[in-house]
Amino acid sequence: MDKSNTVTCTAPVNIAVIKYWGKRDEELILPINSSLSVTLHQDQLKTTTTVATSRSFQEDRIWLNGKEEDITHPRLQSCLREIRRLARKRSNDGDPALDSTCLSHKVHICSVNNFPTAAGLASSAAGFACLVYTLARVFGVEGELSDIARQGSGSACRSMYGGFVQWIMGQKDDGKDSLAQQVEPETHWPELRVLVLVASAERKPVGSTSGMQTSVQTSCLLKHRAESVVPGRMAEMIEAVRRKDFAAFAELTMKDSNQFHATCLDTYPPIFYLNSVSQQVINLVHRYNRHYGETRLAYTFDAGPNAVIYTLQQHVPEFVQAVEHFFPPETNRGQFIKGLPVKRVALSEELKQAVGLEPMPKGISYIISTKAGPGPRVVEDPTQHLLGSDGLPKKTLGCPAAQNGQSSTEQ
């Protein structure tokens, strides 16, 4: 297989502080409101994808986390079709930089996450962002790609940039103006920290795609939110980010998460993403902030019970200690805290008393400590390719369950 036709890239996860919930077009994935997120650092959370093209490949194929998946999935097909269309357009326009030979070739795609799917993090955002970014490199497509990533999964368009990213909902029927845009780069607010509190999973909640469909059909609160609340909040949030005003950023983040979950409750039949652990985290955050008389912490929850906490670097050690106190873990500290190292500090009796919650043993499995990070990247080292020279997943690379093509299709 021609080595030059194999490209590997990585892409980040993002966590929204103004939530996307509801589509006005299911196929093009056009949202009913704009949204804004923080891109998380890829040192802690990332998807890695290798795409190879070769004349010898018989068909397009994809392996996700070691298992061959169905390439005919409509959203995968949308991304492949759009990238090939742009590549063909460039080739027809006579772009001399474009190697058009691979245009007629089939692709093999192999993708792995460096975090467990069980962590309940929106892996589809990093996954589709990485797929689109890598395909674009392979086919020599440049320029705006967030509208293509959006057609894989709405939130994926925001993972095409680092730092603070808004997804502008757009107005056009063809979705051409529904794009992600960087508000500030990851270097803008270096003190900002992100803690993902992975709640011990009970069962798989309703997926976001079907959940938001039911919300659009049944919730008048969602309609009110999209039309009358989010536009103002987007403007305030962008201002808060630009000014690095943590209190304003945190309050908007919490209110928006709460309103999103209120629209889930207003959906008929209702959708419950928050559980008793989530509620305990919400109480902990509000009581902690009240104790200090200032907003030092913010929580936000996506379509599941895991809390994502935004705070400033100086407050991380004490808050992590408080989490350990109010959710006594089964494991030792080394296993409980992953990612950026966190100093151990003593928790004051005043704080414990001010919070005054009954500890919930093992409510949180572990914490991932991270910060804002950059957008997708090309991995230059060819030894990191996930596909071997035979075009099949390597058995060794970060892909423990990887099978070769034959055996994985037989499963």
Residue 22 per-residue DSSP state: -
Query: Of the two residues 154 and 329, which places its CB atom closer to ligand DP6 in the complex?
Result: 154
Determine, following the binding rule CB under 6 A, whether residue 122 of this chain makes contact with ligand DP6.
yes
CB of 320 to ligand DP6, least distance (A): 24
Calpha distance 309→249 (Å, rounded):
12
Site string for ligand DP6, 330-369 (x = CB under 6 A): ----------------------------------------
SS3 content of the chain, % helix, strand, coil (to 5): 40, 20, 35
One of 9, 16, 76, 80 touching ligand DP6 (CB under 6 A): 16
Determine, following the binding rule CB under 6 A, whether residue 253 of this chain makes contact with ligand DP6.
no
CB of 195 to ligand DP6, least distance (A): 17
Calpha distance 52→6 (Å, rounded):
4
Q: Which residue is nearest to ligand DP6 (CB)?
A: 154
Calpha distance 344→59 (Å, rounded):
53
Determine, following the binding rule CB under 6 A, whether residue 19 of this chain makes contact with ligand DP6.
yes
Determine, following the binding rule CB under 6 A, whether residue 148 of this chain makes contact with ligand DP6.
no
CB of 216 to ligand DP6, least distance (A): 11
Burial of 205-231, coded b for 16+ CB within 10 Å and e otherwise, reads bbebeebbebbbeebebbeebbeebbe
Instruction: Count other C-beta atoms under 10 Å from residue 196's C-beta.
Output: 24
H or E segment to which residue 337 belongs: strand 337-339
Only one of the segments 147-155, 251-259, 326-334, 397-405 lies at the binding site for ligand DP6 (rule: CB under 6 A); that segment is 147-155
Determine, following the binding rule CB under 6 A, whether residue 35 of this chain makes contact with ligand DP6.
yes
Q: Which two tokens stand for residue 96?
A: 């001399």
Determine, following the binding rule CB under 6 A, whether residue 47 of this chain makes contact with ligand DP6.
no
Cα distances from 222 to residues 23, 101, 219, 231, 265, in angstroms, run 11, 48, 5, 13, 10
Query: Of the two residues 154 and 305, which places its CB atom closer to ligand DP6 in the complex?
Result: 154
Query: Of the two residues 11 and 102, which places its CB atom closer to ligand DP6 in the complex?
Result: 11
Per the CB < 8 A criterion, the answer to whether 303 and 16 are in contact is: no
Determine, following the binding rule CB under 6 A, whether residue 300 of this chain makes contact with ligand DP6.
no
Only one of the segments 17-25, 139-147, 222-230, 279-287 lies at the binding site for ligand DP6 (rule: CB under 6 A); that segment is 17-25
Determine, following the binding rule CB under 6 A, whether residue 154 of this chain makes contact with ligand DP6.
yes
Determine, following the binding rule CB under 6 A, whether residue 61 of this chain makes contact with ligand DP6.
no
Determine, following the binding rule CB under 6 A, whether residue 274 of this chain makes contact with ligand DP6.
no
Residue 4 per-residue DSSP state: G
CB of 53 to ligand DP6, least distance (A): 26
Is 162 buried (19+), middle (13-18) or exposed (0-12) by CB count in 10 A?
Answer: buried
Determine, following the binding rule CB under 6 A, whether residue 306 of this chain makes contact with ligand DP6.
no
One of 10, 146, 155, 178 touching ligand DP6 (CB under 6 A): 155
Determine, following the binding rule CB under 6 A, whether residue 310 of this chain makes contact with ligand DP6.
no
Is 410 buried (19+), middle (13-18) or exposed (0-12) by CB count in 10 A?
Answer: exposed
Size of the site for ligand DP6 (CB under 6 A): 15
CB of 21 to ligand DP6, least distance (A): 6
Query: Of the two residues 208 and 295, which places its CB atom closer to ligand DP6 in the complex?
Result: 208
Calpha distance 30→18 (Å, rounded):
16
Only one of the segments 135-143, 151-159, 188-196, 365-373 lies at the binding site for ligand DP6 (rule: CB under 6 A); that segment is 151-159
* 3-6 LR contacts (CB < 8 Å, sep 24+): 3/382, 3/389, 5/52, 5/53, 5/54, 5/102, 5/105, 5/138, 6/50, 6/51, 6/52, 6/138, 6/382, 6/385, 6/387
Give the binding site for ligand DP6 (CB under 6 A).
16, 19-21, 29, 35, 122, 124, 153-155, 208-209, 302-303
